[in-house]
Amino acid sequence: MCITVKQMMQIEENGHQMGFLRKFMMENAGAAAVKRLVEKFDDIKSKNVLVFAGLGNNGGDGLVIARHLSGYGSNVTIFLLGEPDNIRSEECSWNWNLLEKMKSIKLLTGGSLDDLNNLEFDIIIDGILGTGISGEIREPQSSAITFINKSNAFKLTVDVPSGVDPDTGNKNSPHVIADMTVTFHRMKVGMPKAKDVCGEIFVEKIGIPPEAEDGVL
């Protein structure tokens, strides 16, 4: 069964109210995505990884992915598309504060991608927008999406390729063209219509109690 963004948000809220906090959901989502990367790449320790992180929960998932990959020995760079003070979710902010204590990860912030010039990456994580898309793709998100698509790196998208409407499958310009998409709890209704830009799709459970769906589905 596929679900809408509104249904997913209500299921998450129900789970949170039950005591399964959003912080736990974010942790499990990031860990599930990394599990798929580790299965894909036997030599994950040798990989240079770039994580593009937005300022919301999709970015927070990306930050968790970065921390886990660092634990595997990957060389990880995070580009936060904005400033830390503007992070919009408590869970994302909590994960950013944790990463600031980790010398094993390179942290970049702001709107200019100049710091990425002449750097080569084996894997790029799209944690820019996910299901949080609304309206036109603005800067610096637009430049980040273009950077991803121009790269020869393996591209993993968190939840839904940035620029793709998760409810309709409509593609904004620009939108990420991924090699793999890891989505969470249930497939989003628009994704089957956008399979051409999702790559290989995995639907991962992240520990949300089934009772959280009561009254929603």
Interatomic CA distance for residues 39 and 12, integer angstroms: 27
Average confidence score pLDDT of the chain: 96
Q: Is residue 214 part of a domain?
A: no
Q: Is residue 81 part of a domain?
A: yes
When divided into structural domains, the chain yields a total of: 1
Q: Is 187 strand, coil or helix?
A: coil
Interatomic CA distance for residues 36 and 65, integer angstroms: 11
Q: Is residue 121 part of a domain?
A: yes
Q: Evaluate if pTM is beyond 0.95.
A: yes
Give the residue ranges of the chain where pLDDT is below 50.
none
Q: Is residue 60 part of a domain?
A: yes
Q: Is residue 217 part of a domain?
A: no
Q: Which domain holds residue 145?
A: 5-209
CATH number at residue 31: 3.40.50.10260
Q: What percent of the chain has pLDDT over 70?
A: 100
- The token duo for 76 is 């990880």
Dump pLDDT digits (tens) for 16-44.
999 999 999 999 999 999 999 999 999 99
Q: Is residue 215 part of a domain?
A: no
